[in-house]
């Protein structure tokens, strides 16, 4: 029968506002007995996990260091515990009222699957993997833990803990829609655009009426070919001063995400219908799916649809309007004729503010 027991670790409980954190030491070889590394993935349309995949070269480098003479890992690993983990104070009295000494009691059940363990590794994934694999009998590490209210709080803490590190932006964009709690202002501003983008990207590619489904490259859609940042910027532009602004309540900042998504789908479905072949190609083969094309056509969407509710878009005949652009676009071959003295090869446009303005002006003048 599988073992069930308690791991008891001396710990310092520290009060921060209305919450507690726990500072303790633990043998790094024991971390995977009670903790799971929740790697980001999607189950249908729902985001699961939050950790980046293991970086094997980094793990090997840490392992070599650990197996050398005199290794030292002074940075604490960070755990998010569920309510199965308890703290037992040695005494109710303490020299200061914000900290007390006791034991952290972590239940271990070897019969449960990894994802059901009582702790999640928020920071220290590579270090813990290196210690696990190293040729060492034991290696104690400093640790900090907190008891989380749910996976949303764990994601929030994961972003905050990694805020000063070079976290992949694509991973942050995946996490933001399902994150609650305080976020740095730069991330908070991207939360709504990221939520909209996630909705646009849901489902398999080539779904009828869902032009972006499966095409935006993210950690959970690695086969996507349109850069997530290009789509985010297009959405942000429209939210701040374009067609999507009408679906926000200026009083409380709330948003009708369903209408925003439907509005985007209506326009970009017309784009896909009009420029079907260029829409199927990756950015190096098509300037339509390149950042310059996505953002410029986003401004075209605002010009054609601003002031029209999503229920009125069918009356605009968006496909009929976009068809007028066909003779003047060089998404995959030929040249762009912006002026008599400004002729560019099809791939001569870059994702820069000046080229985005140039292409936007060209498309809007043609439509007028």
In this predicted model, what pLDDT tens digit does every residue of 163-173 receive, in sequence order?
A: 555 556 666 66
| Per-residue CA distances from 368 to 31, 84, 226, 361, 365 (Å) | 64, 65, 28, 11, 5
Q: What percent of the chain has pLDDT over 90?
A: 57
Identify the pLDDT of residue 132: 92
Question: Does the CA dihedral 133-135-137-143 come out positive or negative?
Answer: negative
Q: Which residues contact residue 15 at a Cβ distance below 8 angstroms, ignoring those fewer than 6 apart?
A: 97, 98, 99
Q: Which residues contact residue 178 at a Cβ distance below 8 angstroms, ignoring those fewer than 6 apart?
A: 47, 151, 152, 155
Of the pLDDT bands very low, low, confident and very high (cuts 50, 70, 90), residue 184 is low
- pTM for this predicted structure: 0.59
DSSP letter assigned to residue 37 = -
As given in the structure block, the two tokens for residue 107 are 């239940």
Task: Give mean pLDDT, residues 303-328.
Answer: 95
- 163: enclosing H helix or E strand: none
Is the pLDDT score of 1 beyond 50? no
Task: Check residue 124 and give left, alpha or beta (phi > 0: left; psi -120 to 50: alpha).
Answer: left
């Amino acid at each position: 029968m599988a073992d069930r027991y308690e791991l008891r670790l001396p710990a310092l409980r520290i009060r921060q506002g209305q919450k507690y954190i726990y500072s303790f030491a633990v043998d790094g070889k024991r971390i995977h007995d009670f903790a799971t590394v929740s790697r980001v993935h999607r189950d249908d349309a729902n985001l699961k996990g939050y950790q980046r995949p293991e970086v094997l070269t980094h793990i090997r480098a840490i392992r070599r260091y650990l197996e050398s003479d005199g290794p030292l890992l002074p940075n604490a690993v960070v755990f998010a515990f569920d309510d199965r983990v308890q703290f037992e104070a040695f005494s109710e009295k303490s020299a200061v009222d914000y900290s007390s000494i006791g034991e952290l009691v972590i239940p271990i059940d070897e019969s449960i699957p990894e994802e059901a363990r009582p702790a999640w590794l928020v920071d220290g994934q590579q270090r813990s993997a290196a210690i696990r694999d190293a040729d060492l009998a034991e290696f104690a590490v400093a640790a900090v833990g907190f008891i989380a209210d749910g996976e949303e709080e764990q994601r929030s803490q994961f972003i905050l803990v990694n805020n000063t590190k070079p976290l992949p932006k694509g991973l942050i964009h995946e996490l933001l829609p399902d994150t609650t709690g305080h976020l740095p202002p730069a991330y908070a501003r991207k939360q709504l655009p990221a939520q909209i983008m996630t909705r646009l990207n849901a489902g398999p590619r080539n779904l009828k009426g869902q032009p972006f489904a499966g095409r935006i490259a993210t950690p959970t859609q690695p086969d996507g070919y349109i850069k997530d940042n290009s789509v985010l910027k297009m959405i942000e532009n429209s939210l701040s001063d374009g067609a999507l602004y009408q679906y926000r309540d200026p009083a409380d900042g709330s948003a009708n995400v369903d209408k925003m998504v439907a509005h985007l789908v209506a326009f970009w479905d017309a784009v896909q219908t009009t420029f079907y072949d260029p829409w199927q190609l990756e950015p190096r083969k098509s300037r339509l799916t390149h950042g310059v094309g996505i953002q410029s056509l986003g401004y075209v969407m605002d010009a054609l649809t601003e002031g029209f509710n999503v229920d009125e878009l069918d009356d605009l005949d968006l496909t009929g309007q976009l068809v007028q652009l066909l003779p003047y676009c060089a998404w995959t071959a030929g040249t762009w004729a912006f002026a008599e003295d400004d002729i560019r090869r099809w791939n001569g446009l870059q994702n820069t503010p000046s080229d985005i303005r140039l292409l936007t002006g060209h498309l809007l003048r043609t439509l007028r």
